[in-house]
Every structure is written in structure tokens, then in C-alpha cells.
Chains A and B, each alone.
Chain A
């Protein structure tokens, strides 16, 4: 669990992060969104102390992060950035092994971990371990960047626009991979993005920032339906189209095969209506019923939001 307590950063007279407090649950993905210059990266970089806060503090599992030297703290926290930042003079395997080496792991363990990660990220160790970054495609470089951030089995992974440099098709794939990885390793992920759809797709929680302040921090569905601020609705307004899309699709068309718990909804209802129903009842999933009372299948909030994603 990460507790951010009243965190602020000032450069001279300008305040770029202003009194942000939030609690990030363990094993969840938290996405920070906001316009350019709203202080997202600054907030993220204060968590691993690449930037020292002017005021406030960050606790990880109850321990104040200022309690240890910054570079040792960072070795425990994964960090992945846009454009991957791979070391051009080191092979893929050496890149991934960076933090384990800094931590003094023995060579056999490092080798095993590198191999495991390459396999997880669908890179054949035989072909790619000895390759140099410039020999990889953009998508592969990005995967190596994330693999490198995860190498020392960090409990927390910070990502600053990790998919920003990827084209839309590869990006969707990379997002799927990230969800898999998160489930697999149970990492707590904090991710910054410009892309609302990415936020809704990945985030268990979404934080909306503007001018250094945290406007709303909640589950995506709540952000969509109960924005706390006109700015938030304008931010999510990128997905106005998504809401319209949801009104055009019926629950029957979208129902997933299978059984699930939850309230029953009519197959003829629009997804928008189903979403409101679920949020109203605080449930995660609903059972879709045909007019004749037979079960058609089920729907989850995530699946509905997924439907609303354009493209």
C-alpha cells in the first residue's frame, strides 16, 4: 500500500504539485491522468524520490520513503518511462539484469530471472538475450523496458507514459500484456498517461489532475457517471462518444457467455443503463436475462467500459 500524504512540489514561486493525498491499494493499477503540465510526472517521480517533495511525505507499507537513501529505495521500485530509456550499449539481457546486478544477485539467479522475463514478454531468449536495443522493434524495446523495470521483483512499479511512443495497434497489445503481468506478479502499478481510454481500460482507480491538484480519485465508472468537477467531465468527455456508443448497444448483444453473480438485467436494456444499474447497486457484474427469463450470459463493468472504447 502506498500512502501519499499532502504531497507538494514547488519550483521557485510556482507550485507544480499542490497538496496531493491518495491511498493506492496493494495489487491494483492506479492511473494518473491530466492535461500536459498538470504535474503527473512530478507526482510519480516524487514516489521514488527522483524528485524530492517540498512538503508532505510518501509511505510505502507504512514506512516513510525518506527513511533510506534514495538510490536504494529506487532499486526496490520498478520504473518504466516513455521511449523505454534502454541502455544502447548493453544487450537486452544486460539491460534487464541492471537492477539485480546493483542488488548483488548471484549470476545464476540473474540468468534465470532474465530468461523467465523474456519468456513472459514473449521474446525468445535464444534470439533476443544477446541482441542490442537498436536491433529490436519499437514494441519489443518497450517490452524489454517493462521487463527491466520488473527484473528485481519490485512490489511497486511506476510507469510514466510507458506506451506513449507505440502505435495504437501495438499499444492495445502492450496494455493486454501489462494486465496479464499485473495478475501474474501481483505488482502494485502506478501509471501516468494522456490517454483516457488507456486509463479506463487499465485503471482499477483513476486519478485526475489539473494544475497540480488532484481533482478526483476513484473507480473509472464513478468518474464516468459522477464526475466531481466540470474539468473531470471534460477530461472524460473524450469518452462522450463512448457513452453514446454504450447507449447504442444492448446488453443482449454484449453479454459474455458464462455464469456470474449479480443483479439481473434485461437483454434489451442498453449498456449505459446496465452500467448505471451496476454503479447504483455497487456491484461488479450483472446477469443478462432474455425476455423469456432464460439466462443469456453476464456482463462486468470492465467489459462494458471495454465496449465503449473506440476502435
Chain B
């Protein structure tokens, strides 16, 4: 079905229920909710503006035309590709409209006035995002295609940011003020998440192998790791701060290495501890899945225990282990946020500063990249695990 026939002959006999829901919510948002909020400075409540008051007439009309097309596609088109295309066009239109509203409403040279996306923008974005997600889910893209989608989205978003499309929006204003700190905290965030993951893999893999080989240990060891997992992050940070402070005081070398009661050290240790369970448990589960016959055959061919482990068992268990690593990485990226509370840095710094100042723009400056990071990590590692799992069969 071509796009044209799809749009000109909508099959309204079978109204898509999800589409109806989304189109309805989107229409209400577009008409009644403020598209942007104009604030005279960064923390005061603002002055709501609808789509028509925020944009030059041609911009508002163009944006509305695209949204109406998307709504028609949502209501009456069943082809998933067409729906995805319409949803993505809608996202682009809404994004450009909010950027244009920023440009139009900001007086030239004024650095105090803030133009923030309003509830209408967020609801529209959510509806279009749901429509796109639904279309992608129906298309069941393979792992390669999913990563490609992700890469394309990152490139497009990156180009728009580099080009300065959104520079007049409040979040980007916050970024402009905090640019060098942002780079540093982002690096610290990734570093904490990946570093603790790497250390945990080194330790949890042998633990998992041991638990697999010695079933007697299994419930005790995994049970203990599970107990650690249930302790809330900030509580574990607190519990670790005291011994680490003592260590720094007693061993000058530790202090010289940057270990202190407060800061990144307790965060890193806690994240490391949290990461142990998913990796160890999945290693055990993955090894359990290895067919006995394969191991017997290898033994029959005279492979040593070490050769069997590295050449057969771990290879076959890899997809499951990778699933554990995915869980840990996503979990760590989220949990590093809390590290900011104890001076551990990371993007959480902006989140908690933002909370403290009730500056939602600052919160978003921290939260959006965190979610984007976690989401990207999940997509990439899921795809990797799926590819490996297919290769296995």
C-alpha cells in the first residue's frame, strides 16, 4: 500500500482502538494544553502558550497539518511502516515547532527569559512515541535493524543539538550555563557504571562457575548476594561510607588512591556489590542450560576441564550471561544517579541540584541523558544477546 492511498482511503470501518486513544489524547493536548511555557526566569511559574500563540501562523499550521496526517494514520491505516513513518514525521514536526517557539518567544539577546516545553508538547510527544513504539513492535525488527534505528536516532538528535536547533529552549539554556561541568559529570557517570560492571564481571563470573560446579554453595552464595540487592542504594552507600573513611584514615596509600568515605569510592563499591547477583545468577543459569551431552562428548575427546569450560560451557552460556550484564548495566546507569547525593558525581548531580532549586530544566538536563543512556545500553545489549543466541542454534 503506498502512502498516498493509505492516506486518501483511510479504512475507517475498522477503527484502530489504540490509534483512537492516541489521536484523541493528542487532539486534546494540542488544543487545550499549553504547548510551551514562557517564564521570566528559570524558577518562577510561567505563562502558558498554545501552539497558535507560540508560533508564527505558517509554522503552527504546518505543524498541525502533519499532526492531523499522523492522527489519520493512527486511526485508519494498518500498515506498520506507514504508521511508523507518520509517527516519526509527527515527532519531527513537534520538535521543530517547540524549537521554533523557543526562537520566536525569546527576545533577542535576552538570557533570562526561559521557554520550556509545556504539558501539551509532552503529551503529544508521548502519543507519537507510543504510536511509533507500537508500529516498531508490530514490525518485529531484527537485532541489526534495531541497533540501526537507535544509531540513526542518535545521529539525528546529535546533529540537531550540534546545529543549535534547540538552543533557545530552557533545557539547552541550562546546558549552556553548565557545559563544561556536563561533560565532566557525563564522563564520570559512564565511568562509574562501566567500571563497577567490569569489576563485577571479573568477580561474579568465577563465583557463578564455582556455584555451578559446587551445588552445595549455590543457595548460600546467591542468597547472600540477593540480600545485598535488596538494600536500597542510598542505604548501602551510607553503610559503606564509614568503613571506607576508616580505611582512608588508617592506610595512607588508600587515601592517596582517592578512597574516601565520601565521594565516588562508596558509590563504586556499592554498584559493584549490586552487580554481582545478576551476573553470578545468570552464569549459573547459563551453565545449567549447557547440554550434558556436549560436555560429555568434549570430555570423551580428551579436552581438559579448563578447555571444556572456556571452549564449550562459557561459550554456550554466553547469551544468558550477557542478559545478566544487560540487567546490571541498565541498573547501574540508573543507580549512579543516586551517587550524586554522597558526592560521587555523575549526571545525578544536575538532578538533585534541580530538585533542590525546583528547576525542572536542570532536572531534565540530568534525567534525559540518563534515560537515553540506559535505553541505548538496553537496546544494544539485547540485540547482542539475541545475535549470540541465534548463532548458537
Chain A directly contacts chain B within the complex, with at least one CB pair under 8 Å: no
Binding site for A on B (CB under 8 A): none
Binding site for B on A (CB under 8 A): none
